[in-house]
């Protein structure tokens, strides 16, 4: 392999693994988002469900 190929290989490895490491560290620091609006209400109707159709 030429020097240019090795340089690009090392650069791409650093970018991919560095991005993975940065994402892991960010998720460890702030695991859940708290700025999202609350979701809909669950009415707990187990016997009434939407009609399922094969399409």
Rounded to two decimals, the pTM is 0.51
**Helices marked H in 1-55:** 3-29
Highest mean pLDDT among 19-23, 30-34, 38-42: 19-23
Q: Print burial letters for 17-55: b (CB count within 10 Å at least 16), e (below 16).
A: eeeeeeeeeeeeeeeeeeeeeeeeeeeeeeeeeeeeeee
Across 4-8, 32-36, 44-48, least confident range: 44-48
The closest of 19, 20, 15 to 7, measured between CA atoms, is: 15
């Amino acid at each position: 392999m030429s020097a240019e190929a090795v340089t690009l290989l090392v650069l791409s490895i650093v970018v991919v693994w560095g991005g993975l490491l940065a994402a892991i560290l960010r998720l460890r620091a702030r695991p859940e988002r708290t700025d999202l609006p609350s979701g809909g209400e669950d009415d707990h109707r187990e016997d009434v469900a939407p009609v399922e159709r094969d399409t």
